[in-house]
Structure 1
Amino acid sequence: MLSYHSVFQQLHVENVSVRRMTKMQSIMKLIGKLARMIVAMARDRQPFIEERVQLKAA
Structure 2
Amino acid sequence: MNKDTNQEISKLKKELVLLRMYKITKQKNENHKIKKIQKEISKIYQLNSKNKSLSNE
The answer, yes or no, to whether TM exceeds 0.5 is no
TM-score, normalised via structure 1 length = 0.43
Of structures 1 and 2, the larger Rg is shown by 2
Q: Which has the higher contact order (CA 8 A, sep 6+)?
A: 2
